[in-house]
Structure 1
């Protein structure tokens, strides 16, 4: 099977005080069709920089990113992006926020209305179509951001710490929501997080990054049931996976 997304030998070097600063070094990873993959690592390891390169918002200093075998040259409709901050337009309604990107494409008004209605239903916000962002909770705002990204029907959905600004209870509910959404749409998802439990709970595979410079330290298969409940976090299998990730992040051998 060919990967939907492939990152090949990607490096990134910034200039700091006139000197080169290596942020990413020889990153290699892949995401297969319909797969959910997480990248986990400590703050400052280059996760967001890597995701920005994949999204086409930043150029790599070396290597390349491919989507369906095509080299990424910049932002494109084949990649949807969801950020930690909701990035909603406060002067637009929920429906107008979701339709914003669609209006920049050659779509009929009928198709735009149908897509907006469909994804409002998918994220459970049909009754809030005419509400404004200030009238929504944090979790609801992030659902709107996810619906806006999905409405463009991207090949890959990129998520940058999407639940990092939410309280613990809302975060867990959004994790369940996202898993249900993935099961329904089977969109290929690449999500970055520093929350180990979140990565294990959501992903089929996990890439663990080290820092200074950012490298892929380990790839882990998450051999847990596809249909997951929050009680899964209390099981021995889940706890063992968490132990392995922690040992990898600490740089310990024989995890």
Structure 2
């Protein structure tokens, strides 16, 4: 098993098993109170990386995390994403530099911070030159509003182009035990020491259905979800999974996966699992 921590951008130290806040509901009130409790419990359990985005409730998720956790404890990283908007009630990509600047300013207010330590471009807008999108984030970093810049759902070529413009600290692509489409991107991140934050780190409804995963889970007295997360942590030292949930018991189950050790033989069996179509 690789180390339990990682330095994003070479200096920002976080635990390698984070928490994705996307599934935390902000209404009705009873669900909101439960969501606040889940976020607080994550920090109590030692989680130091929490992922959110403007798109998650169009700012409501960021506000929820601020209500739950501000003032943020030392060592806690709350990372957010920009570049997706809702101009006419439907979500759309918006990588215009002025839109990115406006979204960052709004995120600073909702999160109650002066600087977003890790800001990720949620999606590359194909209508806008990538250089313009990354350049806007680079300028925000120069202005002191952003600490480090990350990308989401990018190809190797897009990552390489972005890195020619500025330093890239993280990449957030879909990736899990049964879906390794972005293995080349992961390899590029590993070579460059870039944090790789897999979203959908567990194949929903599928991990427990695969006999081999269930067999390994039984052998180590764990759940299939824990096995899938432990596999990710051991697969590459730059992987920082961010599993999400709206239930404390699932959160505790996920966090416990950081202590799960798989044998080389078990890992080999999982490595050869066929991928989802």
TM-score range, shorter chain: 0.3 to 0.5
- The structure where helix makes up a greater share of residues is 2
* TM-score, structure 2 normalization: 0.41
* TM-score, structure 1 normalization: 0.44
Structure number with greater CO (CA < 8 Å, separation at least 6) is 1
